[in-house]
Structure 1
Amino acid sequence: MGTWDIGHFDNDTAADFSGTLDEAAPEEREGLVRSVLTAAAETAAEDYLDSYEAAQAVAAAALVAAQCPGGEPVTTAYGPDEPLPVFPADLRPLAVRALDRVVADESELAELWDESEESPDWRRAVKTLRAVLDPEPEPAAEARSEV
């Protein structure tokens, strides 16, 4: 896999996935994103997750996160050019599960990054993406009683 930076689309696989989305009919784009996320999320923990599937899952998760509150828009030239549909909320937990699988043991992409000096930055970027998809609940405001 050709990789030139730690960004979610800064590799050949993610850029190719963007091209696939652009070439797909508009009504097929959500299904493509869902399929990529499902493939990674449903890979058993004891099975090896191929870097190709993992890189696509990270890119797909970034597209879902871009539509979440606090999400960063995908502005890279390697992201999709064509408009994407509004993704349903059920893609968020699927994307979280996919990202958890990408950074877990038995993930080729995680292993490849762990062999590089940029591993902490890549892991931090994936963690930030995950936090947008599954934000920590805000503490409930304490009820104030008047005397």
Structure 2
Amino acid sequence: MITGMGTWDIGHFDNDSAADFSGSLDDALESERENIIRTALTRTIETEEYLDSDEACAVLASAALIAAQCPGGTPVTTAYGPKKPLPVFSPDLRPLAVQALDRVLAPESELVELWDEAGHGPLFRKGVTDLKAVLLT
């Protein structure tokens, strides 16, 4: 789908960056996994310069994992998601995830530019908007 980015489909885990992020969650102690997600979200929210696609992919993966625990959330069943159990996330991660997703969609975001260049920008934005809708319930 996006050449040169290690992306094979439009799903939140269908790229090398998200798969690597999932691996980092699996490599961490269970007690550290929520903090890894919180850090990815916070770092993105605080980014004022150009947002790298790798950071944006980690946010999408994080938001999908948080949304999976929300009412109406879709379980993460992809082979590229974390294999090890995740803790029940603190509810305060939901608004952080929404803020981080807003930053991913904002100007100066490499991932949006890549999806737009590949002709899949609207489909990408719909996936992010759907995630936000679950997180806001």
Do the two structures share a fold, i.e. TM-score over 0.5?
A: yes
**How big is the shift at 1:84?**
0.1
User: Whole-Å Cα distance in 1 between the matches of residues 7 and 97 of structure 2?
Assistant: 22
Alignment of 1:1-147 (within 5 A): 1-44=5-48, 47-135=49-137
Q: CA deviation at 1:26?
A: 0.7
Amino acid at match of 2:134: V
Q: Which residues of structure 2 form unaligned runs of 5+?
A: none
Question: Which of the pair has more CA radius of gyration?
Answer: 1
Deviating runs (4+, > 6 A) in structure 1?
Answer: none
Letter in 1 for 2:97: A
Structure 1 unaligned blocks of 5 or more: 136-147
TM-score (structure 2 length as normaliser): 0.94
Percent identical: 66
Query: Structure 1 residue 117: deviation in Å?
Result: 2.1
Shift of 1:134: 1.1
* TM-score, normalised via structure 1 length: 0.88
Number of residue equivalences: 133
Q: Which has the higher helix share?
A: 2
Q: Which string of whole-angstrom CA distances, capped at 9 and with x for unpartnered residues, describes residues 50-69 of structure 1?
A: 11111111110110011011
